[in-house]
Structure 1
Amino acid sequence: MRLSRLSLALAVMALLTACNFKGVPEPQVSARDTEYMALIPKAQEDLRYGRYLMDDPTGEAPGTIVVDTKERFLYYVMPNKKVIRYGVAVGDEAYGWTGVSRVARKAEWPDWNPPAEMKARWPHVKHTKGGPDNPLGARALYLYEGNKDTLYRIHGTNEPEKIGLGVSSGCIRMRNIDVIDLYNRTDTNAKVIVR
């Protein structure tokens, strides 16, 4: 009797979850994306941080990006009170950043130029050309407050095993396939809220 109740409860939970979360198809990728991503080590994927279509918990306008640093999720707001939710890695406590900004620029497989403050903390970091060894990964969205570069980015990663953790120097890291999906959906000047 106990086992059948547990089975029934699990079945009901599965049905409810299916109603609230829906997988999002993989985005179109280029030959270069396929080539470079094949060179980045694979990580065990935590399904909590997958890419899902769900009801909008943000209340923001369509096209807005909302990052919940505590829960480690990024929401891209869609029409009809829906969002696409992605798992992210965020800044560790010492380097966390919150605020409102906008996407001023977008780049595919961007070069990485670490800021002076980062070079001072970690002298081993250096300019890295775009590609599989680059910590910015497949895409980057450059965040500005007005016309001033915040030096924070929403970007891919060459460390996919760290999605769901607080490990960056303030940037928002995503799986490369997820940042490609977000990049394809996001307009320049899109509002970004980091909570």
Structure 2
Amino acid sequence: MTITRRLFLASLAAVAATPAFAEEVPAPDLSQEPFVVKDEENKIEYKYRRRQMEYNTSEAPGTIVVDPKARFLYYVLGNGLAIRYGASVGKQGRTWSGGATIGRMEKWPTWTPTPEHLAEFPKLAKYLNGGMPGGLDNPMGARALYLYQGDVDTIYRIHGTYDPSFIGRKKTAGCVSLLNVDIIDLYNRVQMGTKVVVLEY
């Protein structure tokens, strides 16, 4: 088989982009969920799939680091390793950066539209009283980690998504969203007070 120059260069680029160490992370136990959650890794680009890999950072083990430019969320394990998840991040003009902590954690959370959502989709007003119940169609997905700065709710969350096509794209109103299976995995690893660092875009 003849290898063209383009194919050869593409293979070199793929090798260069592959971390020296990358290992699959098994899916969490989903058998007790009130809704059917599937591991939809096969529906997202390969590089955004859940992996344990080398990651050099000065942040302490247990810290969450979000890289919105690359569309990755890292859970720092220490010893130069982290679990990396593919993420969806804020649309243009709806990004933010800085530090926060997890001030609230919810399974299958309700969702209440923000003024920004209502301005764009007025029909969502029906969810203002009581919010949309948790479920597979809920924009918050299977879990939500609410980000606080001190005692102040930033209104930003790390949460699940019902649409795998969002992963790796700028599709949110500022929140960070993961596959439902990935947010469940991350939720199982963190706790109240976990530090979150969102890098500059």
Which whole-Å CA distance do the structure 2 matches of 1:43 and 1:113 have between them?
Answer: 30
Which whole-Å CA distance do the structure 1 matches of 2:31 and 2:137 have between them?
Answer: 18
| Code of the aligned partner of 2:88 | A
3-state SS of paired residue (1:124): helix
Distance 1:123 1:180, change over 3 A: same
Aligned to 1:63: 62
How far is the alpha carbon of 1:185 from its aligned partner?
Answer: 0.4
Contact 2:143–2:180 (CA<8 Å) still a contact in 1? yes
How far is the alpha carbon of 1:10 from its aligned partner?
Answer: 5.6
Which whole-Å CA distance do the structure 2 matches of 1:163 and 1:109 have between them?
Answer: 19
Aligned to 1:154: 158
Equivalent position to 1:131, from 114, 118, 135: 135
Which whole-Å CA distance do the structure 1 matches of 2:161 and 2:42 have between them?
Answer: 11
Distance 1:147 1:175, change over 3 A: same
| Code of the aligned partner of 1:73 | F
Greater fraction helix = 1
| Code of the aligned partner of 1:118 | H
Distance 1:17 1:121, change over 3 A: closer
| Code of the aligned partner of 1:56 | Y
Deviations 1:147-184 (A, max 9, x none): 00000000000111110000100000100000001000
Which whole-Å CA distance do the structure 2 matches of 1:44 and 1:117 have between them?
Answer: 29
Aligned to 1:121: 120
Equivalent position to 1:182, from 155, 178, 186: 186
Q: TM-score, normalised by structure 1?
A: 0.86
| Code of the aligned partner of 2:65 | V
Which whole-Å CA distance do the structure 1 matches of 2:175 and 2:58 have between them?
Answer: 24
Deviations 1:128-162 (A, max 9, x none): 10011101001000000110000000000011111
- Which consecutive unaligned segments of at least 5 residues does structure 1 have? none
Q: TM-score, normalised by structure 2?
A: 0.84
Aligned to 2:173: 169
Which whole-Å CA distance do the structure 2 matches of 1:26 and 1:189 have between them?
Answer: 24
Aligned to 1:110: 109
Aligned to 1:100: 99
| Code of the aligned partner of 1:154 | I
How far is the alpha carbon of 1:56 from its aligned partner?
Answer: 1.6
Q: Does 1:88 align with 2:92?
A: no
Which whole-Å CA distance do the structure 1 matches of 2:55 and 2:105 have between them?
Answer: 25
Aligned to 1:142: 146
| Code of the aligned partner of 1:90 | V
3-state SS of paired residue (2:37): helix
Which whole-Å CA distance do the structure 2 matches of 1:97 and 1:57 have between them?
Answer: 23
How far is the alpha carbon of 1:120 from its aligned partner?
Answer: 3.2
| Code of the aligned partner of 1:22 | E
Residues paired across the two proteins, number: 191
How far is the alpha carbon of 1:113 from its aligned partner?
Answer: 1.3
Distance 1:95 1:10, change over 3 A: closer
